[in-house]
Structure 1
Amino acid sequence: MRPFRITKAQARKAPALGAAFFVALGLFAPQAHAAPAGQASAATPPATKAAAPRSIPVPKAPEATTGGRPLAAEDDAKAATPKAAATAAPTKAAKQFSAAAAGNGCDLASFSNASGSTLVANVKAASLDCLNTLYPLTGTDAGKVFGEAKMVAVADALRTNAATYPGDNSTSTGQLVQFLRAGYYVQWYHSDVVGTYGTALQTSIRGALDAFFAAPHSKDVTDANGQTFAEAVTLIDSAQENARYTGTVKRLLGDYTTSWPSFMTTAVANTKTVIEDGFDQPAFIAALQADPAFGTTLSSFVTRNASLINGGDMVTSIGILIGNYVAHDELKAQGRPIIKDLVTRFPLVGATGPLTMNLVWFTENKDKGNCSVYGLCDLPTRLPPLVLTNTKTCNANLRVRAQEMTEQQLADTCTSLINEDALFHKVIQDNGAIPGDVNTNLEVVVFDDYYEYSLYAGAMYGIAVDNGGMYEEGNPAKVGNQARFIAHEASWLRPDFQIWNLNHEYTHYLDGRYNMYGDFEAGIVTPTIWWVEGIAEYISYTYRNVRNADAIAEAGKKTYKLSELFDTVYDQTPDAAANSNRVYRWGYLAVRYMLQSHPDDVKAVLAKYRTGDWNGARTLLKSTIGTSYDADFSTWLTACAADNCGSLPPVNQAPLCTAADTRQFDKNCRRDNLAAATGNYSYHFLYLPAGVQKLTITSSGGTGNADLYYGGSNWATTANYQAKSTNADNGETLTITNPPSGWVYFSLYGQQTFSGATVTTQYQ
């Protein structure tokens, strides 16, 4: 299906709807993995760059599209779909018509039971609002109203009417046009009940449109004419007569000036659909090939009206269509000099960026290997300093390059990644980087939003942009290789600042450097995705202290056995949503279970991964472990679905407390296997000498949900406390500054029954 282009203004109207759509389908698993608040060679066109050996696409953002080009999206309907009237919505049939039509004086029978001159009279007598309610018709009603004979009768009436068209709607020309538009729309979607449209209607509609566009007053540059003329332009596309009326389109574009009234300007804007869908029709291509002036008229329209360009205007949206010339061999010779002039004339950034960069996309993807023709071979080096104007060096190993970020946002991003680094090593307990891995630093590239990412990232880095970002590891054994995470801000979450998938993707960098030998392609010769994506999800959610609600909801479904998850690959089935669910949500569950329940097995698997012994790791998972943990995994899933997922035991644990009273703690010690039923307490106390500046109490591990309360010199309860920590699991921390000397008291409260918890006390 051919992608359609949308401009910057149109794109930014979509996030709320897009988010709902993608969430409903489950097409992206992770939530916004982001910084918590406060915390190609010059001679080679980018499109021909080889993919980086470790190039991991990020789960899609709500704004992401699937067309593989800047802001391309798959049309919800067929290519060249007739366009509905603005007030119409394709919903279910007659009941919808009745409700909408009642207030417009509409009677469906006046169209379904009439024919010939009676039908024409009824159409002309109806209001435009009434006719707009015909677009949703389906079933028997659609067939009765829009059969071919009725469409022929109305088209013939339009031909007769056009002979005396007065330049306004006083003779109901607009009603005839609107009925025909609605008919083509309904028949397109419901040809099974409407029937086919053949040569009889084609002959009649051509006669009607010929007569209308030849009428002297159809050339009036007035709003009165524009109201009907704009609809007639759209009717060209509805009837798929795009090739026949290239002259009409050319005249409109050639004559247009910024002084034209609004409805005539709308008529010009409507030529976009005629041109865009025309490029799918061989007859349209042949017409343009025979008339080189069409292309130069398009170009002149853009350059002559450059003052209107703001990224979301009709000049941009029509100008982008010129790129289609190089998508067709018959038109390449015409299109190349026109496109070269436009991408040279207009800046690559700013208001003209959407125009120039969409045209750049066509040159890279539809005229591959010819970047020198357009003077674009140096884009990978020319664009970054123009686009990424904000830079922050976090440390010797980490740098952020951004399009639009404040100093505070840059600093918070650095803090987020540096702190996550510490958590990763604490969980993994590695012994340093894999020998020979020279990816000592990571560059994080952040575009202002998905739109800007889709516009520039492909040309700059040679990556696909129909995703939520991309991590490129490259060859970690090559000196000078630059590991890079290319990302964008989650604009739909504003005013909160978040970078989509930041912490998830930073884990990929750390995992590739400290766990996975070689490049990404080497690491997936056997199924390793359960770990690669699962650990990225686990670290991201754990670091951000966010409950992975989607994964926990999946746990209760018990869709997969653990032994099956060890077989996970990216494209398991043709069902993209199911694949995403398995890769991210179930990867998270598998890794969390293994880290908590079988840490020694994880260490053994990682020892194989770190040396590139993929077959050895596979044998360990599928033969040594095999199905032996499936039953326990199922039991754990039941508990996890009830929010009893447990947590990791602390790394580098303090020694066990030695006091005979198991309630008593000392300066730096821990007690394990603490438990209490829902609503009950595990009470504890600690003696503090004078001068203690800071007391830290932490709980972790086990199952259930224990909340931590501190009561100072009194027993701590939910009704009597000085400080509390109440996360969704057993991972709680309290830091008390300048506590009193003497005995102090704290407790674990059973928000839900918990067991196996560990509590540690430290003070200084």
Structure 2
Amino acid sequence: MGAGLLAQPAAALSGASAPAARTAAPGGQDAGPAPTAQTATADSAHVGKGRQKPSRIPPLAASKDVLRQDGGKQSAKKPADVAAACDASDFTGRTGNALVRQIKASTTDCVNTLFELTGSDARGAFREAQMTSVAYAVRDGSASYPGDSSTGMPQLVLYLRAGYYVQYYNPDAVGAYGDALRTAIRSGLDAFFASPRSRDVTDANGETLAEAVTLIDSAEENARYIHVLRRLLADYDASWNASWPMLNAVNNVYTVTFRGHQVPEFVTAVRADPGLVDSLYRFASDHLALLGTGQSYLTSNAGRELGRFLQHPALRAEVRPLASGLLDASSITGATAPLWVGVAEMTDYYDRSNCSYYGTCDLQAQLARAVLPVTHACGPAIIIRAQQMTSGELSASCAGLREQDAHFHEAVMDDGPVAGDRNDTIEVVVFDSSTDYQTYAGAMYGIDTNNGGMYLEGDPAAAGNQARFIAYEAEWLRPDFRIWNLNHEYTHYLDGRFDMYGDFAANVATPTIWWIEGFAEYLSYSYRGIVYDEAMAEAGKGTYALSTLFDTTYSHDTTRVYRWGYLAVRYMLERHPADMATVLGHYRSGDWNAARDHLTRTIGTRYDADWYAWLAGCAAGDCGAVTECAAPDTRVLDRDCRRGNRSGAAGADDYLYLYLPSGVPQLKITVSGGTGDADLYYSDSGWATRTSHTSSSTGAGNSHTLTVTDPPAGYHYVTLHGAESFSGVTVATRY
């Protein structure tokens, strides 16, 4: 995904997280094990913007919404993706044993969709009496729990999680939860964790166990089940590594401890008996060998959660020597760095006055010296700070950014920076891998790192403010070098400086995400000359009206934010540039309401019919973006343009040419239309002829295509040769 994040710097302690995202700082845990290897797919998820701490913890979202260790995101399945037989009325219309039977007969995918219920459906499914029935079903089923899903235990536990989640966000609709549910949920969890088969080290048991551990937190029973957390930490051994669900279960221990600090009973219990602190220390110190492996996050998270107890003065005497011991057992760089950085970040935030005791004074500067030794100026406006980049990689990255700058201004036709914007430089921070990004970026810049990179705009009007993109090398593309999401995030910088008045908070005061993320995707793909296949696939589905997409916010799923944002921006820029000029004019002056009025009232649904026709064309491979080339010399081709009405006699040649900048990954040449028979010849070294060419496409008729991969910078030559006389033929080039 070309997309990373556009965000303000995270608060040093943001309290509870947005649903389904780890709280960012200080040092939210690494996400657990990745069910699949990282792939070079599209966009990473957007996370919350430092919300105010709520009065109580929002329960975590649907179980399939797994933040992956590799920095990508496995998205929660949406209702359209699951069996059509799943319907809210199956649950809202049943009570007691009938409800329990329905839940057991449903799939976990089906139950996952219930996290989205609102209104009367939310009350029908999750009022206290319903939840109490299900909690007692967990109790009754635990005595004979077989260690797998055959009796419906995963669905029951997940249903309870969904109920707490929905009730938190819809308290008026669902109604209050009281002592009746608390008694029932305790009896259910007591019985499940007492079941001998709940300790099976298998995928089948891990599926339910992981959900049950998270349910501890959802029900705010963090204090009651400290003994379960300690047991899981003690029971883990190398045999668990073969089971992703079991690894997920032990990693969920850290969710319960992390969020437990907002539950007074939990803090009181640990103060009275700090055995959990000792368990975290023993896990980290006993499993140092996991660092540098696929299970590294288990050890580093144990260290983080140990250090987090430094926030409680009554526990500092217990925690300080243990934290110091873990720092001594690890190093600021190398395989053990995730543990060192995690513990150091906690000491820096919660016990900074004693930094000399830990050796963590001036932590951010320490990390910068150790981790980012490379500083390279791409000119007066762009500085690259890197963990490791060769001179060739630095030069190529700088050239690409400068060329993208020109492409941006051509696309938006701006008149210079918006008023008051002092972000005249950008710092591009490049870690050596996604693992290094996850290890260091949070501690150095106070950001969440379960994403594909983050642009921090800050306050562009403030003197001394530094705009910064924090990124990493896409190690899975080696030996090719690529800074992941570089073009997308650099677009955020340019867009913020030349199109969007004020800071990020002002920019999103009305729904502008369709433009902010959609344009970053559009410019990234169009500049690189890459077809956005995932967006084209979405176009074929026709999911959203254009008028609907103008209402997109970060609360919507990443497919809508990024892929549909791209489609909406591309349509508006290429089909209705005058409307976009009006909207951008309002964005540049900070008149957000006027821009919103133009989109929702002046345009409204007026373009929806044409939009759907355009989507169908995109899905078929033609978004209609190619326009007549503008150069007065009719032989000149250019980016995404055509020369129509070409003609020639049999045996004659019609010569055309274009100039390509460096860094173009693909040039596509197409011939279409007209009458007769014209063959296509191409050369990158001189006029193309039948006897001297690099490649060709011949045969009856005038439908020909050539795709040139990694063409060199410079002039390229295209020739139509008359196999027979031809007329009315169109030649188009895209790159």
Which of 1 and 2 has greater Rg? 1
1:468 aligns with 2:452: yes
Alignment of 1:326-475 (within 5 A): 326=310, 331-340=315-324, 342-343=326-327, 346-363=330-347, 376=360, 378-475=362-459
TM-score (norm 1): 0.56
Residue equivalent to 2:70: 63
- Paired with 2:400 and 2:309, the residues of 1 have a C-alpha distance of 46
Shift of 1:503: 0.7
- Paired with 2:579 and 2:153, the residues of 1 have a C-alpha distance of 66
- Paired with 1:28 and 1:421, the residues of 2 have a C-alpha distance of 23
Alignment of 1:204-243 (within 5 A): none
Q: 1:138 aligns with which of 150, 164, 171?
A: 150
What RMSD over aligned residues (CA atoms) do the two structures have, in Å?
A: 5.9
Deviations 1:41-75 (A, max 9, x none): xxxxxx99xxxxxxxxxx988712789xxxxxxxx
Residue equivalent to 1:643: 621
Residue equivalent to 1:536: 520
Asked if the contact 2:374/2:388 (under 8 Å) is kept, the reply is yes
Percent same amino acid among aligned pairs? 39
Q: 2:698 aligns with which of 704, 719, 726?
A: 719
Residue equivalent to 1:655: 632
Q: 1:182 aligns with which of 186, 200, 204?
A: 200
Alignment of 1:247-646 (within 5 A): 311-312=292-293, 322-323=306-307, 325-326=309-310, 331-340=315-324, 342-343=326-327, 346-363=330-347, 376=360, 378-572=362-556, 579-646=557-624
Shift of 1:593: 1.1
Unpaired runs of 5+ residues, structure 1, are 5-9, 31-46, 49-58, 68-91, 94-133, 143-176, 192-237, 254-260, 573-578, 658-664, 689-693
Shift of 1:493: 2.9
- Paired with 1:545 and 1:650, the residues of 2 have a C-alpha distance of 18
**Which structure has more RCO (C-alpha within 8 Å, separation ≥ 6)?**
1
Asked if the contact 1:554/1:586 (under 8 Å) is kept, the reply is yes
Deviations 1:153-177 (A, max 9, x none): xxxxxxxxxxxxxxxxxxxxxxxx9
Give the 3 Å change call, closer, same or farther, for CA 396–650 of structure 1 in structure 2: farther
- Paired with 1:383 and 1:370, the residues of 2 have a C-alpha distance of 18
- Paired with 2:365 and 2:250, the residues of 1 have a C-alpha distance of 35
Alignment of 1:163-174 (within 5 A): none
SS at match of 2:378: strand
1:17 aligns with 2:21: no
Give the 3 Å change call, closer, same or farther, for CA 637–274 of structure 1 in structure 2: closer
Asked if the contact 1:645/1:703 (under 8 Å) is kept, the reply is no
Shift of 1:357: 1.4
Residue equivalent to 1:121: none
Give the 3 Å change call, closer, same or farther, for CA 342–473 of structure 1 in structure 2: same
Of the structure 1 ranges 413-422 and 365-374, higher mean CA displacement relative to structure 2 is found in 365-374
Residue equivalent to 1:674: 644
Asked if the contact 2:44/2:72 (under 8 Å) is kept, the reply is no
- Paired with 2:658 and 2:147, the residues of 1 have a C-alpha distance of 70
Give the 3 Å change call, closer, same or farther, for CA 613–184 of structure 1 in structure 2: closer
SS at match of 1:534: helix
Asked if the contact 1:61/1:500 (under 8 Å) is kept, the reply is no
Residue equivalent to 1:73: none
Give the 3 Å change call, closer, same or farther, for CA 311–12 of structure 1 in structure 2: farther
Unpaired runs of 5+ residues, structure 2, are 1-19, 24-28, 47-51, 54-65, 75-103, 106-145, 155-194, 210-224, 661-666
TM-score (norm 2): 0.58
SS at match of 1:350: coil
- Paired with 2:559 and 2:252, the residues of 1 have a C-alpha distance of 40
Give the 3 Å change call, closer, same or farther, for CA 703–591 of structure 1 in structure 2: farther
Amino acid at match of 1:674: G
Deviations 1:248-274 (A, max 9, x none): x7xx99xxxxxxx999xx9xxx9x969
Amino acid at match of 1:138: S
Give the 3 Å change call, closer, same or farther, for CA 400–613 of structure 1 in structure 2: same
Shift of 1:388: 0.8
Amino acid at match of 2:526: T
- Paired with 1:521 and 1:440, the residues of 2 have a C-alpha distance of 20
- Paired with 1:682 and 1:633, the residues of 2 have a C-alpha distance of 41
- Paired with 2:571 and 2:458, the residues of 1 have a C-alpha distance of 31
Amino acid at match of 1:603: A
Shift of 1:451: 1.9
Amino acid at match of 1:620: H
Asked if the contact 1:596/1:649 (under 8 Å) is kept, the reply is no
Shift of 1:370: 8.4
- Paired with 1:486 and 1:316, the residues of 2 have a C-alpha distance of 22
Amino acid at match of 2:511: P
Asked if the contact 1:647/1:701 (under 8 Å) is kept, the reply is no
SS at match of 1:432: coil
Give the 3 Å change call, closer, same or farther, for CA 403–329 of structure 1 in structure 2: same
Amino acid at match of 2:338: P
SS at match of 1:382: helix
Give the 3 Å change call, closer, same or farther, for CA 527–708 of structure 1 in structure 2: farther
Residue equivalent to 2:186: none
SS at match of 1:537: helix
